[in-house]
Structure 1
Amino acid sequence: MTLNDLKEFWGKPTIQNELRKTLYMATAGVVLGLIGPFDSYNLPQAFARHLYWLSLILISSLMSGPLARGMFPPMIRAGFNPLLGFIVFAFAMSVGIFPFVIFNEIYLASPYGVTWDYSLEFLRYVGAWDYVEWFGQVFVLTAVLIGAISMIHKAVQKPGEAATPAPTQAPHTAGQNFLKRLAPNLGDELLCLSMEDHYLRAFTTKGDQLILMRLKDAAVELDDYPGLQVHRSHWVALDAISEARRDGRRILLKLKNDHEVPVSRSYVDHLKAQGIL
């Protein structure tokens, strides 16, 4: 079971999920009332024993939603191990329910009902180690309860009710920041870019388009696209180059569309490093 599964069940704020969770928890409360763990079987009446456990369990159910919505998302983002995330959640639930456990114990132990004086006397009477042992019992029972209910829910839920996976990001397209400037009918296979006054003409295998921007800004947006600047006014895609030739002292790159692009001297070494010249 993943942390997403736990977050989906314990934290999903829908009426259907809250009712389902309450039903599971109430059933657990009835079972605990029958078993009577941690000396609760000594209660003189079965009704009181069931009321004791049902009250604690239903308070836990109400508490679980806000805790799950607050705790699981940051644990998921931090990459928590599912077992560790489960333990942290069970511990937080135990901390939240522990005061109610103590209140119930005071209520059950007092012959005169819950009074301030008797409550203080009760709390002073219980030793520090008793509180630790007491909390340990609450934690173990809470962890077992949460784990059992989570696994039962996982086993009985319908396939369509499985936790919705986190949305996956759309695959990154090289040079997508620049390509989205082009008309859809031009495709995404660039051949070259050439400056014309204050405009940039982008050539693709399906046509060309004028864009109002600078070549250096386009080069930044095309940083991960396989291509390079070969002239202060020209950029070419590497797989668009079909031939490199000399015309006197000039070097020209012939592209797939038979368009020729001049290479300035300052970029010759770069082209040689790419194995183009």
Structure 2
Amino acid sequence: MKIGDSRWGVGRAARLGLAVATGLGVLLGLVGPFGSYMNGAAPMRVLYWVVSLWAGWALFGLTLPLLARQAMRRGLSPWLWAPPSVVLLAAPMTLISRALAQMVWGRTFEVGLLEWFGQSLIVSAVATGAILWLMSRPPAAAGTAAAAPLSADPRDRLPVHLGREVICLQMEDHYVRVHTPLGSDLVLMSLSQAMAGLTGVEGGQTHRSWWVARAAVVGAAENGRNLSLRLKGGLTAPVSRARVAPLRAAGWF
């Protein structure tokens, strides 16, 4: 499964993030990294690290989904947009965790802000990497019961927040990226299966890797001998030479 598969809903990802933050916070509290083992007994360290990781979970949990949605619309891999995002978000996390430390232990620390930022960056990178890795794995089946058959309609496999209006389908390896006005998501099926499952939607295959809903077409663009369709949401779908004549005859452009 790829990150972004529809079987990972918003609520499930949020619960996963909270679980990772709590578990990592307890572990760091017991180990006491970055010299925190010198700051009193283990219960206080665990309290600090868990609350600090919860604060980070809230900060990253509110920001990363917005960045992920924009990245998915552009077809970017999480491993391209996530690292710079973590670096940027580690800056406010530095101030939050430092303030929490002063509240818990009631004193000013000798560690400078730059060093503290490096520590926050390490913890943020580990937590985010763990979440992305877990989300890239297929969810375990519940018990030994047979899995329910997946719907043939790709819209039934989309997260609720993406709606059911399909702009186009884009083949990616063994997956199909379903584009909607609210973003996109990957579903595990072939392009031919996805096209067959989109009952009641007028559209056509414009390329061996693309299917387009006719209502989503807002114009056409020519670049030499290459033709593409401009779609709602700023998307562009290529048109193969073999499909130019049939689409033109059907009045698509």
Structure-2-length-normalised TM-score: 0.52
How many percent of aligned residue pairs carry the same amino acid? 21
Contact 2:48 2:104 in 1 (8 A): no
2:80 pairs with one of 84, 89, 102? 84
Structure-2 separation of matches of 1:166 and 1:63:
28
The aligned counterpart of 2:205 is 172
Matches within 5 A, 1:137-156: 137-155=119-137
Q: Which amino acid aligns with 1:83?
A: W
Structure 2 alignment gaps of length 5 or more: 142-146, 151-156, 160-175, 180-194, 196-202, 208-212, 215-242
Confirm or deny that 1:4 pairs with 2:4: yes
Aligned partner of residue 38 in structure 1, secondary structure: coil
Q: Is the 8 A contact 1:30 1:53 kept in 2?
A: yes
Following superposition, which runs of at least 4 residues in structure 1 exceed 6 angstroms of deviation?
159-164
The alignment status of 1:20 with 2:20, answered yes or no, reads no
Distance (whole Å) between structure 1 residues aligned to residue 84 and residue 132 of structure 2: 15
Structure with the greater alpha carbon radius of gyration: 1
**Could you tell me whether the CA contact under 8 Å between 1:3 and 1:86 is conserved in 2?**
no
Q: Retained in 2: the 8 A contact 1:29–1:50?
A: yes
CA distance in 1 between partners of 2:19 and 2:136 (Å): 15
Spell out the pairing of 1:58-137 with structure 2 (5 A cutoff): 58-110=54-106, 130-137=112-119
Residue 172 to residue 49, structure 1, CA distance change in 2 (3 Å) = same
Contact 2:3 2:136 in 1 (8 A): no
Cα deviation, residue 76, structure 1? 2.5
Is 1:224 the counterpart of 2:221? The answer is: no
SS in 2 for 1:4: coil
CA RMSD for the aligned pairs?
4.0
**CA deviation after TM superposition for structure 1 residue 98, in Å:** 1.8
Greater RCO, 1 or 2 (C-alpha within 8 Å, sep 6+) = 2
Q: Residue 64 of structure 1: CA displacement?
A: 2.6
**Which runs of 5 or more residues in structure 1 are unaligned?**
112-121, 178-222, 229-234, 236-277
Deviations 1:69-106 (A, max 9, x none): 21112223334343221202322431332221120232
1:25 Cα deviation after fit? 1.8
Aligned counterparts, 1:252-271, within 5 A: none
The whole-number CA distance in structure 1 between the counterparts of 2:125 and 2:65 is 18
Counterpart in 2 of 1:53?
49
In 2: Cα distance, 1:157 partner to 1:87 partner:
24
| Contact 1:36–1:49, Cα closer than 8 Å, also in 2 | yes
